[in-house]
């Protein structure tokens, strides 16, 4: 029998050559994919979970055990330990930020996403004036950290355009992060010079076959180009990088394991980089066709977040507004360190000039002051920024 | 099921012994017995001016098949270490070298900066470089990037037999560095060698602890047993330590039961 | 006159050849490395090297060390 190639053509680096895509010659993707392929969540026993909880240093093997079904009955103990680790590193600080979508034009065809090129949604892109107007409104809420997002269109939101948005953002905010399409290290360097210092790229799923099904066309189809974005961002001078799988697209345990391993190996290779993890779950979107989500319940989501914390005690963990207020309130007191507030995932909505539709439905729509009050009520310290740009 | 052999890999060479024996401060007559009792497959040597008159040479006392690891003792900077390493290789005993750069005659602490420079040069010339260093994470990373085959942090000042003074910092190297960590210098007792191996060190090197024992071959054997025991303990996964005062506070997961499902 | 490991030695017809010089002093050529004026001399070249006045030579071998 012919052995299945775990890495189809689109998954290999040679797919990048003809698209001006930089190949930095890294082996991290191969290492993560082979580790994920070898990960069998069903193999772990309660004894493995016990050993993982007792270990001083959480190894990749311990992490795998903590993500397994065998760990679910230990969730209370896992949560206690996660909370202890979070408090050790971060005290009671919780960081606040908000996303700003400046364009929702997209050239990708991700079957699970509201911005899918095929979807007939209202498309829009803020001009310089619109960007300034929205940022000013956000800054007035007291926030000092902004995450700039675009749909993935190099045509409608080119690097220069994103750079201009960064320039405006640096006047209003102390921390500027980006969640945009993957680019070359020289382009990341350009955006860093214009004020951005953090880059988040969601790999969506680390299962190459599933990735191919979910991304039937467009630049995003080229898996390694996306996979190595964090490394290119670091090479471009960014201070920190964020990782995530969109949990629910494939086997969430395997995807969570691969996400952790990806972040772990990048941290070991670039110890200077700040590492953060996000834990988005698949949400209903416009144009959501017959895509049956691989379900992940709140209990499992909570397990993933706690496992991330124990595996990478130093990493920032962001909790999405896709989740309920109640869930978020508890998770920031246990494992997460960053929470979005006053969220709008459409275009122009903060100044009453909504012109583009949303990427997904949010659940927690609380304002910055509501989130701040919640944190204070729980004896947590809302922190707007503790950052230096150099 | 086939059992995997537990090998120490250095520069593409495989070793089953995880105890490296230093041969200093010995009488030549005891070297062979010490090597054999220690089960050592690697023995360190130093390069010095030869004596005229065809006197006994240490190579005559080292059993066949043992890998020789010349050190660069006497070097005060990277340039001198590189010269000593090159001279040593001319003796035809292989490509291994232990870099040791010391320009402090009171504490004999290694100079990490010069050691990194020497590592880069010698690794580029095809040496299998084993740098002796002060346990500093940044320096260890630089050594790995410079091409080191392993990192050899000291446990305590050389020859002091004081044991694992740098425990916490060696643990950090074990946790963070992807090449073998060989704890070298300062290990004074078999129990300390065992402890370092339990922590996850890949091998131990000792010299003075054995050379200054009353019965040298017997102490060599005690070290072998301690290193083996520590290794086995590490591979078995140490049992847990109960934290004093661990106190199950109010449940953190209660909120999950009331959580409505969004999807 | 040459210097070998710090000692002055007179050159004569009997030791002008490097190989002869090492033999005369009883060095075991299979156990030493020779550095002549800062340059290593390979073993197979010993017999073809002629020493000259003022040469500085180091003859090194392994000893016990940690």
- SS3 labels along chain B: CCCCCCCEEECCEEECCCEEEECCCCCHHHHHHHHHHHCCCEEEEEEEECCCCCCCCHHHHCCCCCEEEEECCCCCCHHHHHHHHHHHHHCCCCCEEEECCECCCCCCCECHHHHHHHHHHHHHCCCEEEEEECCCHHHHHHHHHHCCCCEEEECCCCCCCCCCCCHHHHHHHHHHCCCCEEEECCCCCHHHHHHHHHCCCCEEEECHHHHCCCCHHHHHHHHHHHHHHHHHHHHHCCCCCCCCCCCCCCCCCHHHHHCCCCC
Within a domain: residue A317?
yes
CB B51 within 8 A of CB C25: no
CB contact B5 to A (< 8 Å): no
Interface check for B73 against chain C (CB to CB < 8 A): the answer is: yes
Residue C66 lies inside a defined structural domain of this protein = no
List all chains that touch chain A, counting a touch as 3 or more CB pairs closer than 8 Å. Answer: B
**Contacts of C among chains (3+ CB pairs under 8 A):** B
In this structure, is residue B92 part of a structural domain?
Answer: yes
User: What mean pLDDT comes out for the span C1-24?
Assistant: 88
Number of domains in chain B: 1
pLDDT at B262 over 60: no
Q: DSSP letter for C38, please.
A: T
pLDDT greater than 80 at residue B243: no
Residue B1 in domain: no
Residue C27 belongs to some domain of the structure: yes
The parent domain of residue C30 ranges over: 2-60
Number of domains in chain A: 1
Look up tokens 């049956």; give the residue: A292
Task: Tell me the mean pLDDT per 10 residues along chain A, length 390.
Answer: 47 66 92 96 96 91 97 96 92 94 87 82 89 94 94 91 96 94 96 96 94 88 94 96 95 96 96 94 63 76 97 95 92 96 88 79 90 94 81
C-beta separation of B227 from B193 below 8 A? yes
B126 belongs to a structural domain:
yes
CB contact under 8 A, C63 and B58: yes
Report the number of distinct structural domains present in chain C: 1
Q: Is C13 on the interface with B (CB under 8 A)?
A: no
> What is the predicted pLDDT for the residue at A113?
81
What is the interface pTM, i.e. ipTM, of the complex?
A: 0.82
Q: What is the DSSP letter of C23?
A: H
| A295 belongs to a structural domain | yes
Average pLDDT, chain C: 90
**Rounded Cα gap, residues A379 and A104, in angstroms:** 38
Which A positions 265-304 lie with beta carbon below 8 A of chain B?
A: 268, 271, 281-284, 293, 295, 297-299, 302
Domain-located, residue B102: yes
Subunits with at least 3 CB pairs below 8 A relative to chain B?
A, C
CA distance B256 to chain A (A): 6
Q: What's the domain range around A259?
A: 9-383
Residue C65 lies in a domain: no
Flag whether A273 is in a domain: yes
Predicted pLDDT of residue A387: 76
* Tally of CB atoms within 10 A around A169: 28
* Residue among B25, B54, B58 whose CB faces C62 most closely: B58
Return the active site residues of B: 98
User: Is A133 part of the contact surface with chain B (CB cutoff 8 Å)?
Assistant: no
CA–CA gap between residue C50 and residue C45 (Å, rounded): 10
Using a CB–CB cutoff of 8 Å, tell me whether C8 touches chain B: no
* A66 reaches B (C-beta below 8 A): no
Q: What is the pLDDT of residue A1?
A: 38
Q: Does B115 touch chain C (CB under 8 A)?
A: no
Cβ within 8 Å, pair A268-B178: yes
Say which CATH number the domain at C11 has: 3.10.20.30
The answer as to whether C16 is a domain residue is: yes
**Pairing of β B19-22 and β B13-15:** unpaired
Q: What is the CATH number of the domain that holds B231?
A: 3.20.20.70
Residue A268's closest chain B neighbor by CA? Answer: B176
Closest residue in chain B to residue A296, using alpha carbons only = B263
State the count of interchain CB pairs (< 8 A) between A and B.
53
Torsion angle in degrees (nearest 10) through CA of A5, A11, A16, A19:
120
The residue to which tokens 């700040």 are assigned: A274
The pLDDT of residue A180? 96
Alpha-carbon gap, residue B56 to B75, rounded angstroms: 25
Establish if C8 belongs to a structural domain. yes
Question: What is the domain range of residue B117?
Answer: 15-237
pLDDT digits (tens, 9 = 90+) for B171-219: 999 999 999 999 999 999 999 999 999 999 999 999 989 888 889 999 9
Residue C15 lies in a domain: yes
pLDDT digits (tens, 9 = 90+) for B62-113: 998 999 999 999 999 999 999 999 999 999 889 999 999 998 878 889 999 9
The CATH number of whichever domain residue A86 belongs to comes to 3.20.20.70
- State residue B114's pLDDT score: 97
Task: Please tell me the distance in Å from A78's CA to the nearest CA on chain B.
Answer: 10
Within 8 A of B69 by CB-CB distance, chain C residues are none
Partner-chain contact A334 B252, CB within 8 Å: yes
């Amino acid at each position: 029998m012919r052995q299945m190639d775990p890495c189809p053509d689109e998954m290999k680096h040679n797919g990048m050559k003809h698209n001006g895509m930089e190949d930095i010659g890294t082996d991290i993707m191969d290492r993560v994919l082979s580790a994920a392929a070898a990960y069998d969540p069903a193999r772990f026993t309660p004894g493995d979970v016990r050993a993982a909880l007792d270990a001083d240093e959480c190894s990749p093997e311990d992490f795998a055990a903590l993500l397994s079904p065998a760990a679910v009955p230990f969730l209370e103990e896992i949560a206690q330990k996660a909370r202890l680790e979070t408090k050790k590193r971060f005290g009671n600080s919780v960081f606040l930020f908000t996303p700003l979508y400046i364009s929702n034009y997209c050239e990708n065809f991700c079957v699970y996403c509201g911005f899918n090129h095929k979807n007939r949604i209202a498309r829009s892109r803020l001009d310089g004036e619109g960007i300034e107007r929205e940022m000013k409104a956000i800054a007035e809420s007291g926030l000092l950290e902004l995450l700039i997002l675009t749909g993935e269109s190099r045509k409608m939101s080119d690097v220069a355009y994103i750079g201009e948005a960064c320039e405006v953002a640096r006047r209003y905010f102390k921390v500027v992060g980006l969640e945009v399409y993957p680019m070359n290290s020289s382009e990341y360097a350009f955006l860093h010079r214009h004020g951005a210092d953090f880059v988040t790229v969601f790999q969506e799923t680390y299962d190459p076959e599933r990735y191919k099904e979910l991304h039937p066309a467009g630049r995003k189809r080229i898996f390694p180009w996306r996979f190595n974005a964090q490394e290119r961002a670091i090479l471009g001078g960014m201070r920190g990088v964020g990782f995530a799988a969109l949990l629910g697209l494939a086997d969430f345990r395997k995807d969570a394991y691969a996400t952790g391993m990806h972040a772990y190996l990048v941290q070991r290779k670039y110890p200077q980089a700040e590492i953060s993890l996000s834990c988005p779950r698949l949400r209903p979107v416009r144009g959501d066709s017959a895509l049956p989500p691989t379900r992940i319940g709140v209990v499992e989501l909570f397990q993933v977040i706690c496992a991330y914390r124990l595996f990478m005690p130093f990493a920032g963990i962001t909790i999405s507004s896709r989740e309920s207020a109640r869930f978020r309130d508890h998770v920031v007191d246990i494992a997460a360190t960053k929470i979005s507030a006053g969220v709008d995932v459409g275009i122009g909505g903060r100044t009453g000039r909504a012109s583009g539709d949303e990427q997904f439905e949010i659940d927690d729509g609380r304002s910055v002051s509501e989130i701040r009050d919640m944190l204070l009520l729980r004896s947590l310290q809302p922190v707007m920024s503790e950052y230096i740009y150099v | 099921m086939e059992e995997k052999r537990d090998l120490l890999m250095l520069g593409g060479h495989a070793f089953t012994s995880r105890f490296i024996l230093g041969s200093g401060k010995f009488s030549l007559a005891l070297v062979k017995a010490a090597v054999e009792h220690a089960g050592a497959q690697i023995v360190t040597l130093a390069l010095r001016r030869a004596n005229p008159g065809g006197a006994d040479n240490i190579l005559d006392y080292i059993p066949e098949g043992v890998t020789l690891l010349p050190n660069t003792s006497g070097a005060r900077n990277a340039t001198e270490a590189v010269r000593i390493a090159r001279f040593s290789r001319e003796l035809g005993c292989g490509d291994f070298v232990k870099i040791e750069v010391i320009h402090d005659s009171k504490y004999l602490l290694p100079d990490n900066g010069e050691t990194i420079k020497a590592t880069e040069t010698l690794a580029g010339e095809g040496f299998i470089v084993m740098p002796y260093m002060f346990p500093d994470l940044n320096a260890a990373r630089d050594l790995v990037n410079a091409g080191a085959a392993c990192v050899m942090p000291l446990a305590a000042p050389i020859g002091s037999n004081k044991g694992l003074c740098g425990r916490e910092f060696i643990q950090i190297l074990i946790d963070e560095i992807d090449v073998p960590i060989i704890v070298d210098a300062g290990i004074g007792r078999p129990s300390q060698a065992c402890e370092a191996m339990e922590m996850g060190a890949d091998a131990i090197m000792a010299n003075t602890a054995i050379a200054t024992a009353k019965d040298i071959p017997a102490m060599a054997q005690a070290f072998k047993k301690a290193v083996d025991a520590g290794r086995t303990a590490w591979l078995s996964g140490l049992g847990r330590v109960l934290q004093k005062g661990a106190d199950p506070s109010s449940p953190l997961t209660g909120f999950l039961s009331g959580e409505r499902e969004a999807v | 006159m040459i210097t070998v490991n710090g000692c002055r030695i007179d050159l004569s017809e009997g030791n002008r050849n490097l190989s002869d010089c090492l033999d005369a002093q009883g060095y075991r050529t299979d156990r030493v490395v020779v550095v002549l004026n800062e340059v290593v001399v390979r073993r197979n070249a010993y017999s073809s090297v002629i020493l000259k006045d003022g040469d500085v030579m180091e003859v090194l071998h392994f000893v016990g060390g940690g």
